[in-house]
Chains A and B, each alone.
Chain A
Amino acid sequence: MTSIGVSIVEDIADIRHGLERILSGAPDFLLLSSYDNAENAITALPDIQPDIVIADIQLPGLSGIDCIRRVKAVCPSIQFMMFTISEDSEQVFEALEAGASGYLLKQTPQDRILDAVRELYQGGSPMSSGIARRVVSSFHKRSSQSGAPDVLSARENEVLQLLAKGLLYKEIGLRLQISTGTVRQHIHRIYGKLQVQNKTEAINKAFGK
């Protein structure tokens, strides 16, 4: 099995070092680089080509969200995981719209940090009930605005609705009789569509539609 190439963008040195240590200690991870600001990351990441970037949102100068936008524009294959302490914040949602595939709570225990990154690598994304609700209303608003059919599949919709009610992946899996992994993959696809929607909307705006 090839190892997961990871880069870090985090401005607080102690946290960055702590995270570096956790990642370098795991055999299936390969820590490629770490940055204390978005500008350096934006310049370097397209050449480094990591699988996953763990990025703080609040950074001096350009924000983590700017970092996602710029890097994603050049290298759409690089996946971003927002490093945050609050999963329901407006900024996390903005980052997801900008192209992030998930988020990682900073206070997560060490071993579970590695699990979360592995899950993302395998195509599964986390989503809180607050974010789920915002995603629902975002898709709802857009489909009613543009008149286009909802791009979410019926199953994706179901998963989102249950998430919004506060159910865990495991509970959703039980309810819908699918595996937890499948739930994660649904969420991952929903994030992808959220970003596409976001892009479409931006283009429509630019043409004054």
Chain B
Amino acid sequence: MMICRSASAQNKHDSDSLLNILRSGRQDTVTVSVLLTWGDRYSIRAPDSAVFYFEKAHLLALKLHWLRGVAGYDSHIIKILDDRGNYQEALKLCQDAVRIYRDSGTREDMVRASNNLANEYQYLGDLNATVDNYMNAIRLAETLTKRRYMKILTNNLASVFYELGQYDKCYSYALQAYHIAGELKDTEGIASSLVNLGLSEGHLNRTDSAMKHFREIVRVGRRLDDYTLLCDAYVNIASIYIRQHRSALAKPKFDSVLFLANKYDNPNYRMLALSGLADVATEGREWPVADHYTKDAIGIAAFLRDRDDLVQLLDKEATIREKMLDWKGALSFRNRFDTLNDSLLNEKTRDHINDLETRYQAARKDHALAQQRLQLAQTKEIVRRRDTQLVILTGGLAALIILLLLAWRLFRQRQKLNRQALITLQKEQEVTVLKAVLEGQEEERQRIARELHDDMGAGLTTILYLSRQPETASASPSSEKIARTAAGLVDTINEIIWSMNQRYDTLEDLVTFIRRQTSQLLEINGVDYSIEIPETLPEVRLRGELRRNIYLVVKEAINNALKHANATFISLHIDVDSGLHIRVQDNGAGLLATRGHKNRTGNGLANMQQRMGKVGGTISIVSDGGTLIRLSVPI
């Protein structure tokens, strides 16, 4: 309290002396300075009064031809212009001030004017010019003993680099500002450089350090009793928590911001708080809550005409409505978002174009003079050039035609190649499909084989062992028959599985199988036999059906010889050329003598003929004493 009172007393004393000078009616440079200082007092509370005094100072400075005074007016009036949003006008005045001070000002004046100019460029969005002017100011400020300028400039530059997205540069300038503010014990400077430090660190993923700096801002804000610092710090801390999906920690911070914003009636922070609380609710999938907060935030953003925030909020709300399955609402917000986003984008493009145009105009003026000079020289050249041009043109035209022809040919060739590639691709696809079908068939075959083996095999074997029960076996010939049939069926299953198995699909497999089965059968029946088979066989693959039919015909032939003709010697002869030739010969009773079995034998023969027909082979039977059966199958 003491300090406050003494400060206001000081102020009172100052104003008295200033008033005295103004009342004295002096018309010198001191009066200009006093008028400017006096106007400054009104710049916030009564801008019109400020302008009145500034204009008075301006007129006097002009009358005195005191350029520094004019520049001083420029520097003061721009604050008012800025507040009224008249940045273009302010920019022009700042440029004037820089020009005047360059000739007649102190270095400090130049630093201030360059800083003001940079500020205007920043307001106008020309960030490159902003950086240039801040850099100029910093170069000058480095030579001054007053460190205050360096603190302000480095921190200002840090914010520009933040806007430019160059966060590492933002960080290093903010750090510089932070150190200088520390030296100056300038708490507000510390706070504003801390904001830039924390923000840039957030983008550089140095979350821990950013958190540390934002917490420091909270302490500074408490000390200065500045709620805006607290709000800034809280919003940023909470945003880091949101990014880390720790919304439970973020929520109390946003609540505090909302509380402060309501207390000080600051719609900007209210909007930030509501938007943050909406994010917290979104994280927790509490859609109605998120909807409530976002809607409020949208209202404030619209009121503030803060279109950058508004566009983001609309996007958020559209997403929230989608989650609430309110498609109509989502669509309406999405439309608003699209419209605003498009207009923002257009504006940015337009700004960019305007910027380019200004630069273009400037460049054109510079070039105009040079061009005039060139024109004279050009006229002289024109005649000579025209001849050269004609030659070049004719040559160029010819070259162009050749080039076009070549391009056309290349295009045709490409087309042809593409067509061929397409055909190849189609063929490949067909092969793939075929392969898939075959694989599918193979899988199906394997499945059937497995089921035959596992289920049928087990069932038949059970029947076989049941029929061998001793109490029935002694007396019942039928049970013996059951056992024989079951055992026979198991063999049949094995034969079917063998013919279905692709592992055994060669001619050699077939011959081996016939030999093995035949010799086993004859061995069991105690019949002498001879088997003649070529040592080497050609590598030929045979379909399962073919293998099975040929094998069954041979088996039938052997069985006939054994069962009906009572043979005591059987020979099997296999030969291979362009076809497979098999001879089964026995010394049995012959077909004529087996009439008693006529039906069965007849059936067997018909069966054999049918099977050979199926595979495109022939069978001949000669029965003269014994029986000779010849099979021939093309392979």
Binding site for B on A (CB under 8 A): 12, 14-15, 17-19, 21-22, 25, 58, 85-86, 88-89, 106-107, 109-110, 128-130, 164-168, 170-171
Contact = CB atoms under 8 A, between A and B. Distances in A.
Chain B interface size, under 10 / 10 to 19 / 20 to 34 / 35 or more: 20 to 34
Interface stretch (B283-291, B294-302, B461-469, B621-629): B461-469
A166 B513 contact: yes
Given A107-B486, A107-B487, A86 B465 contact: no
B464 A107 contact: yes
Interface stretch (B76-84, B231-239, B381-389, B488-496): B488-496
A129 B498 CA distance: 13
B549 interface: no
Contacts of A25: 470
A85 B493 contact: yes
Contact of A166 (B460, B468, B511, B523): B511
A166 B515 CA distance: 6
A67 to B, nearest CB: 18
B359 interface: no
B538 to A, nearest CB: 15
B198 interface: no
A208 to B, nearest CB: 31
A164 B454 CA distance: 26
B598 to A, nearest CB: 30
B461 A107 contact: yes
Contacts, number: 75
Given A107-B487, A165-B512, A86 B494 contact: yes
Contacts of B491: 107
Name, among A18, A109, A129, A170, the residue most crowded by chain B CB atoms within 10 Å (CB to CB).
A18
A17 B461 contact: no
A165 B468 contact: no
Contacts of A166: 511-516, 519
B520 interface: yes
Contacts of B493: 85
Nearest to A21: B470
Contacts of A12: 458, 461-462
A15 B465 contact: yes
A180 to B, nearest CB: 11
B493, B512, B513, B531, most chain A CB atoms within 10 A: B512
Nearest to B491: A107
Contact of A129 (B466, B468, B494, B516): B516
Given A18-B466, A18-B468, A130-B504, A85 B515 contact: no
A85 B504 contact: no
Given A85-B453, A89-B453, A168 B486 contact: no
Contacts of A58: 454
26 contacts: A12-B461, A12-B462, A14-B462, A14-B465, A18-B464, A18-B468, A19-B465, A22-B468, A25-B470, A85-B493, A86-B453, A107-B460, A107-B461, A107-B486, A107-B487, A129-B513, A165-B515, A165-B533, A166-B516, A166-B519, A167-B515, A168-B516, A168-B520, A168-B523, A171-B519, A171-B531
B590 interface: no
B519 A86 contact: no
Contacts of B138: none
Nearest to A132: B512
Contacts of B137: none
Contacts of B486: 107
B490 A85 contact: yes
A15 B490 CA distance: 14
A106 B470 contact: no
Contacts of A106: 457, 461, 464, 490
B274 interface: no
A98 B511 CA distance: 30
B461 to A, nearest CB: 5
B387 to A, nearest CB: 82
A167 B464 CA distance: 28
Contacts of B514: 166
